Amino acid sequence: SLHYTLSQSTKTSPCYHLSSSRKMASHIVGYPRMGPKRELKFALESFWDGKSSAEELEKVAADLRVSIWKQMADAGIKYIPSNTFAYYDQVLDTTAMLGAVPPRYNWSGDEIGFETYFSMARGNASVPAMEMTKWFDTNYHFIVPELGPDVKFSYASHKAVNEYKEAKSIGVDTVPVIIGPVTYLLLSKPAKGVEKTFPLLSLLDKILPIYKEVIAELKAAGASWIQFDEPTLVMDLESHQLEAFTKAYAELESSLSGLDVLIETYFADIPGDAFKTLTSLKGVTAFGFDLVRGTKTLNLIKSAFPSGKYLFAGVVDGRNIWANDLDASLVTLKSLEDIVAKDKLVVSTSCSLLHTAVDLVNEPKLDAEIKSWLAFAAQKVVEVNALATALTGQKDEAFFSANAAAQASRKSSPRVNNEAVQKAAAALKGSDHRRATNVTARLDAQQKKLNLPILPTTTIGSFPQTIELRRVRREYKAKKISEEEYVKSIKEEINKVVKLQEELDIDVLVHGEPERNDMVEYFGEQLSGFAFTANGWVQSYGSRCVKPPIIYGDVSRPKPMTVFWSTTAQSMTKRPMKGMLTGPVTILNWSFVRNDQPRFETCYQIALAIKDEVEDLEKAGITVIQIDEAALREGLPLRKAEHAFYLDWAVHSFRITNVGVQDTTQIHTHMCYSNFNDIIHSIIDMDADVITIENSRSDEKLLSVFREGVKYGAGIGPGVYDIHSPRIPSTEEIADRINKMLAVLETNILWVNPDCGLKTRKYTEVKPALQNMVAACKLLRSQL
């Protein structure tokens, strides 16, 4: 069950009663749950596999929570969060708290336990999981609540109270954190069968009674503070949505009396009207802001912060791995002392530390100088406290001067600065880069050379990564096998993939990417300016974590990265072999990016490095080159007002990579997810010759764009089958899909391909699926 039992180690741990007078005004919005070595991941997966018991999982979780609370208490943090732990996701925890379990899970109505909780998160043998979507513009994904007029809300998970008590039992008085009622509803979607236009905010009256129960119980347990996370306040909200905040907190006011109440916002500047609504809320005594991502919020605070309230100033970046510039933060904080009473100014993180790596102590192999520039969650906790202490006049001079020295070394280090790269990238801004000939003429020139049939077939790049293949890569990396042996194995693998594609009669081949662990890491490892961690994991969803590379310096490409493998593959076949690269925007969006220059500048630098590679591939005789931009859309800023600027430099960066090629060289790009209807004009503006896109789970959505009259003259390959599922699509089903596309798109621009790379599938699935794909294609060609 979700009721926690304290493990033995917890019970015997020392108490953490620090006298409150010693604690400076410091606060942490939230903390990573996975543990420094991903302990929670392994415990969860073992439990899901039936290899360990619920008690064992609960013990790992309890130990992690306790060690985090102790760590913050030891660091001197005054406002320590609780209930920021989650077995899967904090939004799902709120769904459990409210008893908003969709009927298909046959929940009994009792306190929600692991079975119901994990069924909602992951599905079970008979029912699929709830939908998952991105948490704002982070790479964290939450479980989307499904709500309708008939949901019977009830107080069904006492997790927030249990965690509060658990911390208290070891002597740590925490601030319980709960997702605020309005944000919860704004992140929900109407349940199946409920009208898409169902006003979710109309459920406010039904969920507030549960919030009141939780608040009452927290009070009874001794809580004196409570934190509601309401990050939707930074979005472009309509006035009726803002009014919901006013209404909700007015309704909660009497329940909250006697408590200090913090409303936490994060991830962007807060719009002026939302700031006004927020700071006028009844019953609220404290407001938290992201002062890292936002650059305008500081002015709002200075001009209109209400007197007598607490300001939680988020100056330590929760979204990145860089050490804070403590001197600069101190200046910001001091400038706020004129506005907020000294005892009401609290130093905080910009958002939950969930979005950064856990602890730098687990990086013994990282270069010492680079390491001095970094701070993971554990180090950020110390930074917050150092700033709070400095504000009281007891600055830790040694800590500050070490920090200043690291900042200075980062500014001047030759490993960061490459003047030639800086000049070249600076020259790109404000200019335009387009291939000289238009796409129609280019496609003609390419067709003369490539001589492809109508409805040409291709795949997205990767082929199944077998255990054997992973072993070869691992052993080569560990220097257990020689370069010669490694090259031989990879060549054999490529040859196998090439022969298979010829047998299947695919038109444009790929080499299968057997040499790549990951589409970003592979390039990062060969570019200068990138560093890699051993344990810098960040939760993506559930037990899944990613380990983003760190871009710390100017990016350049010392030597060709893919030319050897692509030309080797091309030498094995007469058919065109696609060169396969990851695009600059995707490399940027899937890395921790340096914060000492604008993102677009770093992106331009990467674009120039990829441009070198594109041109080397062309010189080596590769005539089709795919530049993947899988993550272009996910970099879209939260606020609409910022979309145009982002799309402008992102699309520009892509064009830079291939502006130098001949008309006869065919440039492909690929994107995951087809929900880019709103950015279709930017995609056209990328001016690729061919785009392949994930589509099969949302045919209609994508095609509707073209049905509505958007002109698309380049080649386009909407995926004809879902590669995320082991299911093998039939020939008829694929032919049916292609027919639907042909009804909307011109025959001569349509390509036929799967949704995405085949890396995670087995050959027993891939072979028959591709066979059916080619068969469907041939059937239609014969009918055209």
Is the separation of the CB atoms in 78 and 22 below 8 Å? no
* Whole-Å CA distances, 656 to 81, 359, 560: 46, 37, 18
Binders of ligand GLN in range 601-630 (CB under 6 A): 628, 630
Contact region with ligand GLN (CB under 6 A), list: 110-118, 380-388, 454-462, 742-750: 454-462
Give Cα 505 to chain centroid, integer Å: 37
Whole-number Å distance between alpha carbons of 585 and 341? 44
Q: Pattern of binders to Zn ion over 701-720, x per CB under 5 A? A: --------------------
Residues 352, 462, 666, 682: which binds ligand GLN (CB under 6 A)? 462
Out of ligand GLN, Zn ion, none, what residue 313 binds, judged by CB under 5 to 8 A for its kind, is none
Whole-number Å distance between alpha carbons of 450 and 665? 10
Out of ligand GLN, Zn ion, none, what residue 580 binds, judged by CB under 5 to 8 A for its kind, is ligand GLN
Q: Pattern of binders to Zn ion over 734-773, x per CB under 5 A? A: ----------------------x-----------------
Q: Pattern of binders to Zn ion over 662-681, x per CB under 5 A? A: ----------x---------
Binders of ligand GLN in range 625-664 (CB under 6 A): 628, 630
Is 146 a binding residue for ligand GLN by CB under 6 A? The answer is no
Give, as one character, the DSSP assignment of residue 81.
Answer: E
Q: What is the 3-state secondary structure (H, E, C) of 232-271?
A: HHHCCCCHHHHHHHHHHHHHHHHHHCCCEEEEECCCCCCC
Is the separation of the CB atoms in 27 and 175 below 8 Å? yes
Question: Which CB atom, from 200 or from 625, has the smaller least distance to ligand GLN?
Answer: 625
Is 460 a binding residue for ligand GLN by CB under 6 A? The answer is yes
Exposed / middle / buried, residue 264 (Cβ in 10 Å: 0-12, 13-18, 19+): buried
Question: Which CB atom, from 23 or from 697, has the smaller least distance to ligand GLN?
Answer: 697
Out of ligand GLN, Zn ion, none, what residue 428 binds, judged by CB under 5 to 8 A for its kind, is none
Ramachandran area for residue 427 (φ above 0: left; ψ -120 to 50: alpha; else beta)? alpha
Q: How far is the CB of 630 from ligand GLN (least distance, A)?
A: 4
Question: Which CB atom, from 6 or from 581, has the smaller least distance to ligand GLN?
Answer: 581
Contact region with ligand GLN (CB under 6 A), list: 20-28, 64-72, 156-164, 756-764: 756-764
Whole-number Å distance between alpha carbons of 527 and 520? 11
Q: How far is the CB of 509 from ligand GLN (least distance, A)?
A: 13
Question: Which CB atom, from 270 or from 630, has the smaller least distance to Zn ion?
Answer: 630
> Could you tell me which residues are beta bridge partners of residue 286?
262, 310
Question: Which CB atom, from 578 or from 655, has the smaller least distance to ligand GLN?
Answer: 578
Q: How far is the CB of 583 from Zn ion (least distance, A)?
A: 12
Q: How far is the CB of 586 from ligand GLN (least distance, A)?
A: 8
Contact region with ligand GLN (CB under 6 A), list: 271-279, 324-332, 458-466, 609-617: 458-466
Question: Which CB atom, from 208 or from 630, has the smaller least distance to ligand GLN?
Answer: 630
Instruction: Name the one residue in this structure whose structure tokens are 């347990």.
Output: 221
Residue 290 parent element (H or E): strand 286-290
Tokens of 638: 């939260």
Whole-number Å distance between alpha carbons of 495 and 517? 19
Residues 99, 294, 456, 461: which binds ligand GLN (CB under 6 A)? 461
Count of beta carbons in the 10 Å neighbourhood of residue 205:
11
Active site residue 681: no
Count of beta carbons in the 10 Å neighbourhood of residue 529:
23
Contact region with ligand GLN (CB under 6 A), list: 433-441, 442-450, 459-467, 474-482: 459-467
Q: How far is the CB of 517 from ligand GLN (least distance, A)?
A: 11
Whole-number Å distance between alpha carbons of 101 and 95? 7
Q: Which of 3, 17, 681, 724 is catalytic?
A: 724
Is 757 a binding residue for ligand GLN by CB under 6 A? The answer is yes
Question: Which CB atom, from 312 or from 565, has the smaller least distance to ligand GLN?
Answer: 565
Sign of the alpha-carbon torsion through 763, 764, 765, 771: positive
Q: How far is the CB of 604 from Zn ion (least distance, A)?
A: 24
Comparing C-alpha atoms, which of 394, 540, 453, 459 is closest to residue 38?
540
* CA neighbours closer than 13 Å in the CB half-sphere of residue 363: 25
Is 580 a binding residue for ligand GLN by CB under 6 A? The answer is yes
Out of ligand GLN, Zn ion, none, what residue 462 binds, judged by CB under 5 to 8 A for its kind, is ligand GLN
Residue 225 parent element (H or E): strand 225-229
Q: How far is the CB of 757 from Zn ion (least distance, A)?
A: 6
Is the separation of the CB atoms in 119 and 143 below 8 Å? no
Residue 681 parent element (H or E): helix 680-685
What type of residue sits at position 572?
Answer: M
Comparing C-alpha atoms, which of 594, 646, 693 is closest to residue 137?
646
Is the separation of the CB atoms in 55 and 3 below 8 Å? no
Q: Pattern of binders to ligand GLN over 726-755, x per CB under 6 A? A: ------------------------------
Is 346 a binding residue for ligand GLN by CB under 6 A? The answer is no
Judged by CB under 6 A, the number of residues near ligand GLN is 13
Comparing C-alpha atoms, which of 123, 132, 240 is closest to residue 187?
132
Ramachandran area for residue 482 (φ above 0: left; ψ -120 to 50: alpha; else beta)? beta
Out of Zn ion, ligand GLN, none, what residue 461 binds, judged by CB under 5 to 8 A for its kind, is ligand GLN
Active-site positions read: 724
Interaction site with Zn ion (CB under 5 A):
630, 672, 756
Interaction site with ligand GLN (CB under 6 A):
460-462, 513, 519, 580, 628, 630, 670, 672, 756-757, 759
